């Protein structure tokens, strides 16, 4: 569409100042159709719930986890120069960063019509980057729309009560008219990618939880420093921290977009992750429907994946951890991966760049798989001390009830984009 034919709301969003989004960001929870039953903020909206339309929803989704073309990779690593650093698992960039380009998360969302999967993790370049480094907004939104897959009818089934939703969120979260966005991370894959990273840098691990070495590592003394292993708990804590940053910055990118669009909403962690994934143990709380395991040795259930849609890099979705290592290697070096010579890119000689990373050879894979299999065998799951699948935080988007804010707040409680949202995005109403 030409610039003149872009809907007014989207046109103003594209022109919105970043500084205003940054300093105008607020959690704005009260939406059209909401009700606070008691206390100082007792108030019931005079409006019916108003769901986001398709254009609004796609604009928010593209902000949270949109593909931004081919990423630039890490150009050099002291340990293996002049070979290209081979950490990345994805060839495409997204609107949020990921540690060493691992990109092990995907996006789910729900609204009144259903539960959806929005897959951009391994997407190729979805829209052609213009010479000035930007994208055509119509092409960007259309190509992302094709990545949405419906997986269930009706809104995500999580009761609006404690312990499934924190007490301060029961009235607001996942209510009619809202869009709830749920980034989900494959922490099993992230830890596996971390093992590859450390192995590439000559580091191996010992099991500090059980107080033992990993048997067989001595055969790889030419690859890693078997005399000075790192503690396993460090690897898993570090990976969890990295993945949390990935999920959080995705939500934050969407939060800034809400300000530009004039939508209400906020990012938060006030939902029980096991209820969200479907691992609460209550069949009446199916959540996203992830499979999970329990063990008397574990304090919490361990979700491992949603079969056929989002499967963690761990058994039972893989035969063993060597199989998972091979799958990760294929993701990195196989067709469409960041280090496959036929994967396109921005470089003037892309084939030469992508071919310059050293593939994971048999010795390398065996070293990584040995450590990963030890974790699985000793803990009964992979990773051992953190969940295989991780979720937290979330982002909700909705239409503000401005009358609530006019009633309780002084001017400035919302921005001009919020004040003009309905006329710019919903002129028919």
Domain hosting residue 237, numbered range: 3-425
Question: Per-residue DSSP letters for 242-281?
Answer: HHHHHHHHHHHHHHHHHHHHT-EEEEE--B-HHHHHT-SS
If pLDDT is split at 50, 70 and 90, which confidence band does 2 have?
very low
What's the CATH code of the domain at 421?
Answer: 3.40.109.10
Helix axes 54-65, 232-261, angle to 10 degrees: 150
H helices of 313-410, where? 321-333, 350-354, 362-379, 402-408
Query: Quick one: how many helices (H) and strands (E) in the chain?
Result: 13, 16
pLDDT average, residue stretch 403-422: 97
Least Cα distance to 77 among 106, 109, 101 occurs for: 101
Q: Distance between CA atoms of 382 and 236, rounded to whole angstroms?
A: 10
Find the helix or strand (DSSP H, E) in which 424 lies: helix 421-425
What's the domain count of the chain? Answer: 1
Which of 138-142, 284-288, 349-353, 371-375 has the weakest average pLDDT?
138-142
Q: Output the pLDDT for position 4.
A: 58
Find where tokens 């009560």 sit.
Answer: 161
Q: Give 51-102 pLDDT, tens digit per residue.
A: 999 999 999 999 999 999 999 998 877 777 788 999 999 999 999 999 999 9
């Amino acid at each position: 569409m030409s610039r003149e034919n872009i809907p007014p709301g989207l046109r103003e969003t594209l022109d919105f100042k970043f500084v205003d989004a940054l300093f105008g960001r607020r959690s704005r929870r009260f939406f059209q159709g909401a009700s606070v039953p008691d206390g100082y903020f007792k108030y019931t909206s005079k409006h019916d719930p108003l769901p986001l339309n398709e254009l609004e929803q796609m604009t928010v989704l593209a902000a949270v986890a949109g593909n931004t073309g081919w990423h630039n990779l890490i150009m050099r690593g002291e340990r293996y120069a002049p070979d290209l650093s081979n950490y990345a698992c994805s060839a495409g960039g997204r609107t949020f960063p990921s540690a060493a380009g691992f990109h092990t998360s995907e996006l789910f969302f729900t609204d009144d019509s259903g539960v959806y999967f929005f897959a951009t993790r391994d997407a190729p370049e979805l829209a052609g980057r213009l010479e000035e480094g930007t994208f055509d907004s119509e092409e960007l939104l259309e190509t992302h729309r094709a990545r949405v897959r419906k997986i269930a009818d009706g809104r995500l089934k999580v009761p609006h009560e404690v312990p499934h939703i924190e007490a301060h969120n029961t009235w607001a979260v996942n209510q009619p008219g809202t869009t709830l966005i749920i980034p989900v991370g494959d922490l099993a894959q992230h830890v596996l990618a971390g093992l590859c990273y450390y192995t590439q840098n000559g580091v191996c691990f010992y099991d500090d939880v059980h107080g033992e070495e990993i048997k067989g590592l001595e055969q790889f003394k030419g690859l890693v420093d078997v005399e000075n292993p790192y503690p396993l708990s460090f690897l898993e804590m570090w990976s969890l921290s990295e993945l949390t940053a990935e999920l959080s910055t995705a939500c934050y990118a969407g939060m800034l977009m809400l300000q530009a669009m004039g939508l209400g909403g906020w990012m938060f962690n006030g939902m029980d992750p096991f209820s969200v994934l479907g691992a609460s143990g209550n069949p009446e709380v199916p959540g996203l429907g992830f499979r999970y395991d329990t063990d008397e040795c574990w304090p919490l259930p361990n979700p491992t994946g949603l079969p056929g849609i989002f499967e963690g890099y761990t058994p039972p979705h893989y035969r063993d951890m060597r199989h998972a290592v091979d799958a990760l290697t294929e993701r990195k070096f196989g067709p469409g991966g960041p280090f496959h010579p036929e994967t396109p890119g921005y470089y003037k000689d892309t084939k030469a760049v992508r071919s310059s990373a050293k593939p994971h050879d048999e010795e390398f894979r065996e070293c990584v798989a040995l450590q990963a299999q030890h974790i699985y065998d000793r803990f009964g799951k992979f990773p051992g001390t953190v969940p295989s699948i991780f979720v937290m935080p979330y982002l909700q988007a909705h239409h503000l009830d401005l009358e609530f804010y006019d009633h309780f707040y002084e001017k400035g409680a919302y921005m001009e984009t919020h004040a003009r949202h309905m006329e710019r995005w919903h002129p028919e109403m």
